Amino acid sequence: MTQMDPFSQLKAAQREGWSLFTPMEAGTTIPAFELVRFATVAPGERVLDVACGTGVVAITAARLGAVVEGLDLTSKLLERAGQNAVLAGFQIQFREGDAEALPYPDASFDVVLSQFGHMFAPRPEVTVSEMLRVLRPGGRIAFSTWPPDDYVGRFFAVLGRHTPPPPPGAPTPAPAPKWGDPEVVRQRLGDRVTGLSFARGEVVFPALSPEHVRRVMETTIGPLAGLIEGLRSAPEKLEKLRSDVLELGREYWKENRMRQAFLMSRATKRA
């Protein structure tokens, strides 16, 4: 008998909420190249892009001659990923699926990648085990994540402060921005890998004002959009949430730009 996933409701909400993300893809394309380069993807290697979104990492790896597959919870993003691949001239197999239950045999890939994606799976220990399971011994795992002390990490902390507490006994997902702390990454990968190394990059998003930033976040970031919808009947709480998001954005907006640092991690699976 298959055990029920305790986070099935959360994943259903993620599947629906992240379907809004497509307008943000342009801002993730340059970091995608940085991740693929950091992972030293080579022609002919079998590559899996976990939580692939609209396919920017997968297509970037395919351009280098890799044989690529991509997986994501959200069918709408996968549809966009397929369109992007066709437009770019690549054949990539995209599949709907869960980072905590990857539908691939053991040791299927030479490289496993994820850009700002696997970090939102609720159980890091399960996600790490799955990503390493499908990676061959001696293969490389590499991913980009948002540090907890920069804009995106602090943004999700703001959401957390405004989110109603879960019912008693309900499982609690691990905070996604913890994946942006090198020490946490070191602990989670543990002795299953060797040669763990880190690098940092920066995403720059054009924005006319902090108010524009808030509007974009409200219409493209699923967790915020869902929280706003849930607070419609509590206008004072809704206004406080929107005010806090705006104030945070003001700290990072300057000269028509939003700047956000990110962390890249890379390691080799032990043989």
| Greatest Cα pair distance in the chain | 57
Architecture of domain 8-203+260-269: 3-Layer(aba) Sandwich (3.40)
The stretch 234-262 carries a mean pLDDT of 97
Q: Where are the domains of the chain?
A: 8-203+260-269
In the block, residue with structure tokens 């206008």: 235
Inter-CA distances, 260 with 95, 142, 176, 235, 257, Å: 29, 19, 16, 30, 10
Length of the chain in residues, anyone? 271
Structure tokens at 210: 């902090």
Q: Are 51 and 130 in contact (CB under 8 A)?
A: no
45: nearest Cα among 64, 70, 72: 64
Instruction: Give percent of the chain above pLDDT 70.
Output: 99
Q: Which of 24, 15, 72, 22 is nearest to 260 (CA)?
A: 24
| Strands (E) located in the chain | 46-50, 67-72, 93-96, 109-115, 135-145, 193-206, 253-254, 257-269
What is the per-residue pLDDT across 13-69, written as a single tens digit (0 to 9) for each? 999 999 999 999 999 999 999 999 999 999 999 999 999 999 999 999 999 999 999
Angstrom distance (rounded) from CA 106 to CA 131: 10
Q: What is the mean pLDDT of the chain?
A: 96
Q: Is the pLDDT of residue 3 over 80?
A: no
- pLDDT tops 60 at residue 2: no
| Model confidence at 71: pLDDT above 50 | yes
Torsion of CA 140, 146, 150, 155, to 10 degrees: -170
* Residue 4 pLDDT level (bands cut at 50, 70, 90): confident
Backbone phi, then psi, for 170, in 5-degree steps? -70, 145
**Residue 1 reports pLDDT greater than 50:** no
Residue 130 and residue 173: Cα distance in Å, rounded? Answer: 17
Q: Residue 244: helix, strand or coil by DSSP?
A: helix
Alpha helix segments (H runs only) across 18-150: 25-38, 56-63, 75-88, 124-133
Q: What is the average pLDDT across 170-188?
A: 96
Tens of pLDDT along 139-173? 999 999 999 999 999 999 999 999 988 888 889 99
Query: Mapping DSSP to helix (H, G, I), strand (E, B) and coil, where does residue 253 land?
Result: strand
If you average pLDDT over residues 250-267, what whole number do you get?
A: 97
- State yes or no: pLDDT of 127 exceeds 70: yes
Nearest to 31 by CA among 267, 152, 203: 203
**108: region left, alpha or beta (phi > 0 left; psi from -120 to 50 alpha):** alpha
